[in-house]
Structure 1
Amino acid sequence: MTDAASLADRVREGELRLHELEAHADADVAAEARRLLVEEQSGASLDSVGNYGFPAEVAESAIENMVGAIQVPMGVAGPVTVNGGAISDEKYLPLATTEGALLASVNRGCSVINAAGGATARVLKSGMTRAPVFRVADVAEAEALVSWTRDNFEKLKAAAEETTNHGELLDVTPYVVGNSVYLRFRYDTKDAMGMNMTTIATGAACEVVEDETTGSLVALSGNLCTDKKPAAINAVEGRGRSVTADVRIPREIVEERLHTTPEAIAELNTRKNLVGSAKAASLGFNAHVANVVAAMFLATGQDEAQVVEGANAITTADVQDGDLYVSVSLASLEVGTVGGGTKLPTQAEGLDILGIRGGGNPAGSNADALAECIAVGSLAGELSLLSALASRHLSSAHAELGR
């Protein structure tokens, strides 16, 4: 069997390229050979990176040119009671982060939510999108393509769904800018996040469009999808799961546990999260939803770049009969419990903590449950940070924790 040193020599001699090593040795030996080459070139030691706890071949669908693994500390917040449409239980929330005090803050929010009887969460809309852009001659041809699309949805649906056993095309929304026509395809991808699924399916549908219209495909993604970029269309129309969580906290709990008042939190939320965010022209009207989304994405094997859309959230707070009502609405939370990074052993264990690894019954219910858990975790994080700011304890809390 080829050893790592010999494999590295073949790369140095130009016989092999870095990405070809798995064809000549097993995945762990290939990763070791790359570490040798990188250490030689950079002068860095990769001993810690090379100390990972799963067979490298498990990661082959998740990464190329693997040299090892980065370990991010993972903790849990809770348990917290989630009264969801897809999950109704008390759950620990797995979060992976390097930001000190984050887990402590979310944990405090979970404790207060539990004292109030738990949080309610619901997925209100679901659909992964891909929006190709077509070139036409002029506006008349653009209108013709739009009309054809509306009249031939069933043809597009048949072509798209021929490529997948699980995806379902829900609708196609056209947008015209001059002689560019964008078709925003939206799919139910069940328990998969579905980006690859929708890309392949939309590619097949685009062939039908080109065969039967004057439209010429310029790009399978025309950025109206919109993936991994801040976008108002995701805030309005949603992408992935649109999910909301809320809780009503009795006044005495706010005063005793959070050391502030419902009125102070409601005013702070308006002036900070709503007015302040509007003045900044922010696409997110919240305190730090990205913190929880990112930490739970890392812990459960989600596509971490989609935190951009996941943090597209609005936090509300008001006083109801003297009590505090708080909600968080995440417009475009792209999550899945099958495929991608969910297959990695540590991330699979993160899903196991929530009891939602793999496909759900009915299909899509596990991904819905994950969205609801992330929403409740985000609610806990918002509640805790707003309270710390309202009570002016934020800096002292960080100082006390030494981070």
Structure 2
Amino acid sequence: MTDTDPETLADRVREGDLRLYELEEHADADVAAAARRLLVESESDADLATTSEYAFPAADAEANIENMIGAVQVPIGVAGPVEIDGGAISGERYLPMATTEGALLASVNRGCAALDAAGGAGARVLKNRMTRAPAFRVADVAEAEALASWVRDNVDSLREAAESTTSHGELHEVTPYVVGNNVYLRFAYDTKDAMGMNMATIATEAACEVVEDETSAHLVALSGNLCSDKKPAAINAVEGRGRTVAADVTVPRETVKRTLKTTPEAVAEVNTRKNLVGSAKAGGLGFNAHVANSVAAMFLATGQDAAQVVEGANAITTAEVVARGGGGDSTGERDGDLYVSVTLASLEVGTVGGGTKLPTQSEALDVLGVRGGGDPAGSNADALAEAVAVAALAGELSLLSALASRNLSSAHADLGR
């Protein structure tokens, strides 16, 4: 046996000659993964035969995972097609969604049918800002005020340092926040088609060196949680992070009755009492029914950072009865149409880098026609954000209608979920 044999590698780990993370230094990535599986199987009595079946070279995932033993397969389906009138994406598109939650795609698909019957959904990216907020320590509030003032006067110097680290990212603003002798600087970047967290981190580190060289401030942490990444945060709900994107539709009354089995008034009332009042009473940051479902399924399918569903679910759904013909005027009359919108404040997506390079995730991006860098730069990530927003809109419309018609539980029962 040689080091290219999984058993030999596994024995060397057992003997303490190698560590799990060193295996790729002695064999190719697939052999290293096989050796780890042998170790895990022998020590846990698990059978990893299915885990070992994956459709890409393990080396393709080296940028995405350490100590690889195989791959988890999550079922992927499509909702739609649905007509999208977006700023960056247009036409009929299938929405690729990966999930283990039965009835989710059926629900989103029903929403897509209603959107299509209404002539399609509108979608627009409203803001694009990926943030990183380092924490600095100063002596007292006088120095804190002085640092904040210095930052406002020297944004150009910070921009030059930050942008020297990237050929794509652009620093748009730096906002100081003071808490006693703590100063947080919230850097906000346009990261084009990348989700951009790594880009923002590297660029901000370069800018922090300028701050320390030119002021008395001491950098405590490159991330001070005012960013705020992968945590519920009001600042992201107000200021946005990643893409702030909205989607909407006006559904004719007849379509609401025929496709969604309810009325515009009933949907609007459920949304007000559940999504707005109920969420407010709960102290929620997301004022929606289940936006996280659509965001998570689209994220898994297209190779996004799954943990950022936390921010992606930071959304507000509105619903109201409007005058027939989509004029936009609210009406109390019982003959109007249904206007529904979803606004996602902090949707962090990209079409280059990270998990988007993995084969199945690349294929899902191809389904949407947004894989890789866009022309102009940033347009593909904008298009993906708009597609996710439309999926969320379809999901909200369908679930609100199910609640309004009181058939939510029966739908799950009928589908056997």
- TM range, smaller chain: over 0.9
2:79 is the counterpart of 1:72 = no
Aligned position for 1:188: 190
Name 2:392's counterpart in structure 1: 378
Q: Whole-Å Cα distance in 2 between the matches of residues 257 and 364 of structure 1?
A: 36
CA distance in 1 between partners of 2:235 and 2:117 (Å)? 37
After TM superposition, the structure 1 = structure 2 runs for residues 193-204 of structure 1, keeping only pairs within 5 Å, are: 193-204=195-206
TM-score, structure 1 normalization: 1.00
Q: What one-letter code is carried by the residue in structure 1 that aligns with 2:397?
A: L
Structure 2 counterpart of 1:232, one-letter code:
A
1:327 aligned partner: 341
SS of the residue corresponding to residue 108 of structure 2 reads: helix
Per-residue deviation, 1:154: 0.8
The correspondence of residues 1-400 of structure 1 with structure 2, limited to 5 A, is 2-321=4-323, 322-400=336-414
CA distance in 2, matches of 1:75, 1:272: 29
Instruction: For 2:124 and 2:311, locate their aligned partners in 1 and report how far apart those are by CA, in whole Å.
Output: 18
CA RMSD of aligned residues (A): 0.5
Structure 1 residues 99-135: Cα deviation after superposition (integer angstroms, max 9, x where no partner) = 0000000000000000000000000000100000000
1:61 and 1:309 map into 2 onto residues whose CA distance is 24
The residue matched to 1:349 in structure 2 has which SS?
helix
SS at match of 1:227: coil
Using the alignment, how far apart are the partners of 2:365 and 2:106 within structure 1? 21
For the residue of structure 2 that corresponds to 1:90, the secondary structure is strand
Give me the TM-score of the superposition, normalised by structure 2.
Answer: 0.96
For this pair of structures, how many residues does the alignment match? 403
Residues in 2 aligned to 1:215 and 1:339: alpha-carbon distance in whole angstroms = 34
* Moved segments of 4+, more than 3 Å: none
- Displacement of 1:256 in angstroms is 1.2
Give, in whole Å, the separation in 1 of the partners of 2:273 and 2:19.
Answer: 56
- SS of match in other structure, 2:361: helix
For 2:65 and 2:261, how far apart are their aligned partners in 1?
Answer: 46
User: How many angstroms apart in 1 are the aligned matches of 2:241 and 2:33?
Assistant: 36
Q: For 1:136-183, what per-residue CA distance to the aligned partner results, in whole angstroms no more than 9, with x for missing partners?
A: 000000011111101111110011011111111010000000000000
Cα deviation for residue 194 of structure 1 reads: 0.2
Alpha-carbon distance between aligned partners in 1 of 2:105 and 2:305, rounded to the nearest angstrom: 21
Instruction: State the shift of 1:41 in Å.
Output: 1.1
Structure 1: which 5+ residue stretches go unaligned?
none
Residue 2 of structure 1 and its aligned partner are, at CA, apart by 1.8
Q: Deviations over 1:290-340 (max 9, x none)?
A: 000000000000000000000000000000010000000000000000000
Task: For residue 395 of structure 1, give the secondary structure of its aligned residue in structure 2.
Answer: helix
The Cα of 1:259 is off from its aligned counterpart by: 1.1
Deviation at 1:242, TM superposition (A): 0.1
**Letter of the structure 2 residue corresponding to residue 70 of structure 1:** V
Q: Distance in 1 between matches of 2:105 and 2:153?
A: 52
Percent identity (aligned): 78
Give a deviation string over 1:46-91, Cα, whole Å, max 9, x none. Answer: 1111111100000000000000000000000000011000011110
Residue 40 of structure 1 deviates from its aligned partner by 1.1
Question: Separation in 2 of the partners of 1:355 and 1:278?
Answer: 38
Q: CA deviation at 1:343?
A: 0.3
Bigger shift: residues 1-10 or 363-372: 1-10
Deviations 1:17-39 (A, max 9, x none): 11011111000000000001111
Q: Distance in 2 between matches of 1:399 and 1:236?
A: 39
Give the SS at the match of 2:33: helix
Could you tell me how far apart the structure 2 residues matched to 1:227 and 1:198 are? Answer: 12
Q: Distance in 2 between matches of 1:2 and 1:349?
A: 31
Paired residue type of 1:278? A
Which AA in structure 2 matches 1:332? Answer: S
Q: Distance in 2 between matches of 1:84 and 1:104?
A: 24
Deviations 1:274-305 (A, max 9, x none): 00000000000000000000000000000000
Task: Flag structure 2 segments of 5+ consecutive residues without an equivalent.
Answer: 324-335
CA distance in 2, matches of 1:20, 1:81: 49
Query: What SS does the aligned partner of 1:331 have?
Result: strand
Q: For 2:304, what is the secondary structure of its paired residue? A: coil
